[in-house]
Amino acid sequence: MNSNFVSVKDFKEYAHSVLPRNSLDYYRSGAAEQLTLALNKQAFNKLRIRPRMLVDVSKRDLSTTILGEKVSMPVGVSPSAMQKMAHPDGEAGNARACEAAGTIYILSTLSTTSIEDVAKAAPKCVKWFQLYIYTDRAITRNLVSRAERAGFKALALTVDAPLFGVRRADIRNKFCLPKHLRLANFEETDSKSTKIQSSKEGSGLQEYVNGLFDASITWNDIAWLKSITKLPIVLKGILTKEDAILARQVGVQAILVSNHGARQLDGTPASIEALPEIVKAVGKDLEIYMDGGVDEGTDVFKALALGARMCFMGRPALWGLATDGENGVKAVLNILRNEFDYALALTGCTSVRDIKPEMVVHESFYSRL
């Protein structure tokens, strides 16, 4: 790994140069015209930090507590599918990097390493399992049971994907999972859930989702999920206060404000834009996290000032993985840790508890002066 890699952008540029087009386009693309994909970063860039001076910041604590578990910093890894397309270390390497960093790793249902193998690879890591509800509820029930037995600490139920969004790069590439890889969480079954085949119509992933995911799920199905697990439930994909209030009513423990990496409906807000209204509506009752566009330590600071308790990032971990496997992800996490530490020190904060809402404003705040 190049010692001159000092930012997530460095890892991104290298990953873009080495990944095969099928895999690269799957990881990097957003929905339709990719307006929301660009907005995820642009929205962060429109926020200004208001630092405070002459504060003793010689000692700093980056740690926080998430669903009762202490983590070393408010930055974890979001679920992303099929990580062995980036590097043979895949999900196991990503989880080991999170274990070393003392933070949370969320494993995708559509992983190329099984629940059990990730648990064995990183037994001390705080792991959550990202869940889709399949039309065959026995599949979902089995996944939940396996995650519980493997020591996962929470379920992150994705609620923004009754269908997968229009991802034009995948359609053009006729995306499929490389032949040497399988969806490892289904290897012990004889269902068609193990493989994403090529499709004459376009993306094989879209065909997979349309054939197996349950597009009829409603808020009533949260009660069903609660009935089959004792794990806390995090709803991933909430973007409005109205849905946040419904999430509180059905009794979930947390919300992950997310637009699915801008891969679902183009034209939705950036996650950081949607965050404040959700925090205002339910932040006193539920833990609120966010992902989408997080690739610098200052992004984490801004999100925490606007009310998030934790940030997650997906693509930066993939760029680290593609660059140097587990060690690449460790390096990316370390960069974000150091940048966030500097953000704390240079704003007059010694811990996440010192970050106040008034420390981050929209750029329009200054145009009014």
Angle at 269 between CA 76 and CA 219, to 5 degrees: 75
Which one is catalytic: 16, 87, 260, 362?
A: 260
Cβ burial, residue 238 (10 Å; 0-12/13-18/19+): buried
Distance separating alpha carbons of residues 210 and 263, to the nearest angstrom = 16
End-to-end CA distance of the chain: 47
Strand ranges (E), 193-306: 233-238, 254-257, 287-291
Six-digit token pair at 266? Answer: 């183009």
* Dihedral sign, Cα of residue 247, residue 252, residue 254, residue 255: negative
Classify 354 as helix, strand or coil.
Answer: helix
DSSP 269: P
Q: Where are the beta strands (DSSP E) in the chain?
A: 47-49, 64-66, 69-71, 75-77, 104-107, 126-131, 154-158, 233-238, 254-257, 287-291, 310-313, 360-362
Question: Tokens representing 128?
Answer: 């959550």
Give the DSSP per-residue string, 100-127.
Answer: HHT-EEEE-TT-SS-HHHHHHH-TTSEE
- CB of 201 within 8 A of CB of 125? no
Does the annotation count 260 as an active-site position? yes
C-alpha–C-alpha distance, residues 261 and 237, integer Å: 10
Helix (H, G, I), strand (E, B) or coil at 45: helix
Contact 85, 320 (CB under 8 A): no
Active site residues per annotation: 260
